[in-house]
A and B are shown apart, each in its own frame.
Chain A
């Protein structure tokens, strides 16, 4: 039996604020959270000095014994998960039924803790100052395990790690578990932590924005002719996935129904995604949903503002949809929140569905010639969105696309 899977709760810690309403309010107002990063000038060779950081606040509400194993990004994830559960009208008790999963992805794990570990250990090759908790703060599953421990999750706990596709893969995996009947619900999403080493990882690959250090709010510039690379951000986005009948029975608000998902590798290049594999991912996700390109009303692009990635994504969209479907990227507002980006941007896309308004690509002033031929949204645009597609195309050649139907139309199977 294949179950239907809906989204019944949303939670977000974003560079625009500490909950979903502040995140959406910021986007609606056209605000950029990108700032110059204090202290980054001391890193030799780090050319990009801008970032979009979320604010760490309210962490003392988490008891010390739970908090001690949490990195900054784990705290973001716990707070986003708490908001999502509350938004879904669920008590934490449900997490210990064994029927609720927790799947949260990340690119780097706890970057700050990882760096603290090396700073302690490497100068003198001395481990004696390492605390017991460093391991739990560092590891790539720090967000998933800390959220699961804090909420008492006894169902499937998993950490997807596929760079910028991590959180969409987490949601896709939760979708599979619920549609196969293995779980009734899942807390799914991603978390990431901004740190000079994270931005630096992209910087040495010539993938970051370096020309706007003195005008941070003008970058990143997805699809724009003056785009020069991505800007890293951090935070966490968590959604509650729920089996449709389960949600209906308890009278839950249904934001949307996941009707299609696909993830695939490009099998050709670690850092340069290609239009062919992106196109294949989009096509397979549409096939999984049993719909045609004409059924999609909005595409939330991955578009990070790298020269190559945006060009290839625009080409993939152009090949399948031409100019027929509005496309926008949200990286101009919150930077690239990496492992959190798929979930955070899906949450903003759900808000667009609810409002019937598409938010434009911030900083897109003149479409680059190589990104033309698709329907770029450059001003807020009213449209009834019945079905949307969310793209994530990650370093490592990993693609993911999720197809979501508006909750208002959940009876129109």
Chain B
């Protein structure tokens, strides 16, 4: 999967699950402060990413380090090499 695919599919999750307008979806955006997600949303973010990418990340400690949208792109990309 190319990076563009990861970006597009991740952005789809933010549009579909969290109703965030596409023009706000930039890599540097902090998912809590800029995009307004909270701890309950993170549970649903994990579920939606698992669905979208067919991965299992619920117990992956690296999820806790995610702060920005770019962090998610990189995290999903890193799963390819795990």
The chain A residues found within 8 Å of chain B, CB to CB, are 64-65, 68, 128-133
Q: A128-B56, A128-B58 are in contact. Are A64 and B18 (CB under 8 A)?
A: yes
Minimum CB–CB distance for B59 against chain A, Å: 10
14 contacts between A and B (CB under 8 A): A64-B18, A64-B19, A68-B40, A68-B41, A128-B47, A129-B50, A130-B47, A131-B43, A131-B44, A131-B47, A132-B40, A132-B41, A132-B47, A133-B44
A391 to B80, CA, bound (A): 64
In chain A, what residue has the closest Cβ to B38?
A65
Docked CA distance A68–B19 (Å): 11
Q: Tell me the bound Cα distance from A128 to B43 in angstroms.
A: 10
* Complex-state Cα separation, A91 to B42, whole angstroms: 33
A-B contact count (CB 8 A): 25
Is the interface on chain B under 10, 10 to 19, 20 to 34, or 35 or more residues?
10 to 19
Let me know if A132 and B19 touch, CB within 8 A. no
- A132 to B44 alpha-carbon distance, docked (Å): 6
Which of B44, B56, B58 has the most chain A CB within a 10 Å cutoff?
Answer: B44
Using Cβ atoms and an 8 Å threshold, which residues of chain A touch B56?
A: 128
Chain B 46-67: CB-based contact to A (< 8 A → 1; otherwise 0): 0100110000101000000000
Chain B neighbourhood of A129, CB < 8 A: 47, 50-51
Tell me the complex Cα distance, A68–B17, Å.
Answer: 9
B47 / chain A contacts, CB cutoff of 8 Å: 128-132
If A129-B51, A133-B44 are given as contacts, then 9 extra A-B residue pairs at C-beta distance below 8 Å, sorted by A number, are A65-B36, A68-B40, A128-B56, A129-B47, A131-B43, A131-B44, A131-B47, A132-B44, A132-B47
Q: Type the 1/0 row for B12-43, where 1 means its CB is closer than 8 Å to any CB of A.
A: 00000011000000000000000010101101
